[in-house]
């Protein structure tokens, strides 16, 4: 019996897929089809696949052409499969011409001519292209433009300077379906409101506003209007970070008693803060260092105290330490701007601890460490580009299908605003300034 294998995502099954499967089947007597899993696709940079794995499998099954369907989960799996299933022919569309020649050491390799004029990408884009307007300039705005190219279904229509006349910004909002706001934090709330009023879905840098009540109201308003309000904070959308949180919640380190997180940079990354609120470590890094604490311990802290070392001349806080007391443990987070330190994250529990080396906020690698080092485990998660593409893909998914933003839930978003509000109040009124 001649066995053939082929692989694909098979998202939004179309006639190009059907032709491919028919031709592959005709090359032998038995067809194995590998359908890629979500995490494999994300790892190879294929974002915003719309259908879950089982739905895509069902569609392939529905053709009646596959004798066996398997998931494709990891790089290098093809060689394993060819050996495991005793494959004679590896078949794939001609868009991959040459890429899989290395499999010729294991079986025959056939490139099947691709059906012209159809692809999952083009179907995803048809009639549901999300046009974006950006409010903000500089490095982050251009990074957003570059990263958006990796998410099919999105295009950037216009970029507005936050200093621009509100009429110009308002006009832009009327012409797009979504806006990305990265203006000064004290102005974000106003832009978010305006965008929602004009019927736009909103992606907004963290914090959404510097007042808890305002953030709360904005979420309520978005809900009322049936629009998505989405707070961006890269770490929250990285697979490594969400896996870390899930492992901790699943008891991997026992009961968590302490969380230590540090983020520092030599230069302010958000120079906008050198406006009405003064800038520095907390305004640059606050949302980042709070994130693991709020995700793991929750938002029910009993006490929170800030201590900053101020550079009085420049009115910036060079280094801030925040201690948060919870019924079940303590968190101690540090932020520096113009001070360099080890930017690691340690989550300590009653069984083990998790160590994430600098820069922890990228969470590409972490270890669970036990008293007995033989039990230690290591985890790796690759991030493509600047990572903004993951946020855009998640946003697009919420706009299209609705649901909850589990990476950055409303109560976390509100608490980040509340903590920043508290910090700025202390900074203005207390003696440690
Ligand atoms: N294929 C094909 N003709 C098309 C589209 C896909 O022959 N018009 C083939 C691909 O070459 C591959 C298989 O179908 O062998 C599965 O492809 P997949 O990547 O899932 O489909 P695409 O439509 O190319 O998806 P995307 O646009 O997301 O890249």
Instruction: Please tell me the distance between residue 50's alpha carbon and the centre of ligand 1 in angstroms.
Output: 14
Tokens of 407: 């990476």
Work out which ligand 1 atom sits closest to the CA atom of 116: 8
Would you call 299 exposed, middle or buried from its count of C-beta atoms within 10 A (0-12, 13-18, 19+)? middle
Instruction: Please tell me the distance between residue 56's alpha carbon and the centre of ligand 1 in angstroms.
Output: 13
Closest CA to 206 of 179, 228, 188: 188
The C-alpha angle 310, 333, 290, rounded to 5 degrees, equals 105
Beta strands in 103-236 (DSSP E): 108-112, 130-135, 154-160, 178-181, 201-205, 229-232
Ligand 1 contacts CB of residue 59 (under 6 A): no
Least confident of 20-34, 89-103, 120-134: 120-134
Substitution site in 14, 20, 53, 90 for ligand 1 pocket (most atoms within 8 Å of beta carbon): 20
Tokens of 428: 């203005």
Instruction: Please tell me the distance between residue 110's alpha carbon and the centre of ligand 1 in angstroms.
Output: 15
Contact 346, 354 (CB under 8 A): yes
Contact 47, 92 (CB under 8 A): no
More confident position, 253 or 122: 253
Q: What is the pLDDT of residue 45?
A: 76
The yes-or-no verdict on residue 267 having pLDDT over 70 is yes
Residue range 56-65, pLDDT digits in tens: 999 999 999 9
Tokens of 70: 């398997």
Euclidean distance between CA atoms 248 and 192, whole angstroms? 34
Tokens of 63: 């053709």
Ligand 1 contacts CB of residue 97 (under 6 A): no
DSSP one-letter code for 260: E
What are the helix (H) ranges across 265-360? 281-296
C-alpha separations of 23 from 3, 7, 115, 135 in Å: 13, 13, 11, 49
More confident position, 275 or 410: 410
pLDDT tier, 19 (very low <50, low <70, confident <90, very high otherwise):
very high
Three-state DSSP class for residue 15: helix
Cβ neighbours, 10 Å, residue 133: 23
Nearest CA to ligand 1 atom 16: 8
The yes-or-no verdict on residue 275 having pLDDT over 60 is no
Ligand 1 contacts CB of residue 36 (under 6 A): no
For residue 37, how many C-alpha atoms fall within 13 Å in the half-sphere facing its CB? 10
Ligand 1 contacts CB of residue 9 (under 6 A): yes
Write down the mean pLDDT value for the chain: 92
Count, residues in the chain: 433
Q: What is the pLDDT of residue 285?
A: 92
């Amino acid at each position: 019996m001649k066995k053939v294998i082929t692989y694909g995502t098979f998202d939004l099954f179309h006639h190009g897929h059907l032709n491919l499967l028919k031709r592959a089947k005709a090359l032998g007597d038995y067809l194995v089809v590998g359908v890629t899993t979500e995490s494999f696709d994300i790892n190879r940079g294929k974002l915003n696949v719309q259908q879950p794995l089982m739905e895509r499998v069902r569609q392939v099954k529905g053709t009646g052409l596959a004798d066996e369907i398997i998931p494709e989960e990891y790089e290098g799996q093809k060689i394993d499969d060819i050996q495991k299933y005793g494959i004679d022919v590896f078949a794939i569309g001609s868009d991959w011409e040459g890429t899989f020649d290395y499999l010729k050491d294991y079986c025959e390799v056939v490139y099947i001519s691709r059906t012209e004029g159809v692809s999952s990408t083009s179907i995803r884009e048809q009639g549901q292209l999300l046009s974006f307007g950006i409010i903000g300039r500089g490095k982050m705005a251009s990074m957003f433009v570059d990263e958006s190219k990796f998410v099919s279904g999105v295009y950037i229509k216009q970029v507005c300077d936050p200093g621009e006349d509100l009429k110009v910004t308002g006009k832009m909002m009327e012409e797009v379906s979504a806006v990305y706001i990265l203006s000064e934090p004290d102005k974000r709330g106003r832009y978010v409101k305006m965008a929602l009023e004009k019927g736009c879905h909103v992606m907004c840098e963290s914090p959404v506003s510097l007042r808890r009540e305002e953030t709360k109201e904005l979420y309520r308003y978005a809900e009322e209007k049936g629009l998505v309000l989405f707070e961006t904070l890269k770490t929250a959308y990285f697979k490594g970070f969400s896996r870390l949180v899930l492992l901790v919640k699943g008891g991997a380190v026992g009961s968590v008693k302490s969380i230590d997180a540090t983020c520092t940079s030599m230069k302010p990354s958000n120079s906008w803060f050198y406006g009405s609120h003064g800038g520095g470590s907390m305004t640059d890094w606050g949302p980042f260092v709070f994130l693991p604490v709020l995700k793991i311990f929750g938002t029910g802290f009993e006490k929170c105290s800030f201590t900053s070392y101020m550079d009085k001349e420049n009115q910036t806080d060079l280094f801030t330490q925040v201690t948060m007391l919870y019924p079940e443990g303590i968190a101690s987070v540090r932020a520096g701007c113009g001070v360099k330190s080890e930017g690691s994250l340690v989550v300590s529990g009653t069984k083990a601890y998790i160590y994430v080396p600098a820069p922890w906020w990228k969470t590409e690698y972490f270890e669970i460490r036990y008293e007995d080092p033989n039990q230690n485990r290591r985890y790796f998660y690759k991030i493509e580009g600047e990572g903004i593409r993951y946020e855009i893909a998640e946003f697009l998914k919420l706009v299209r299908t609705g649901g909850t933003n589990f990476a950055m839930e409303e109560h976390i978003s509100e608490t980040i605003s509340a903590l920043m509000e508290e910090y700025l109040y202390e900074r203005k009124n207390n003696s440690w300034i």
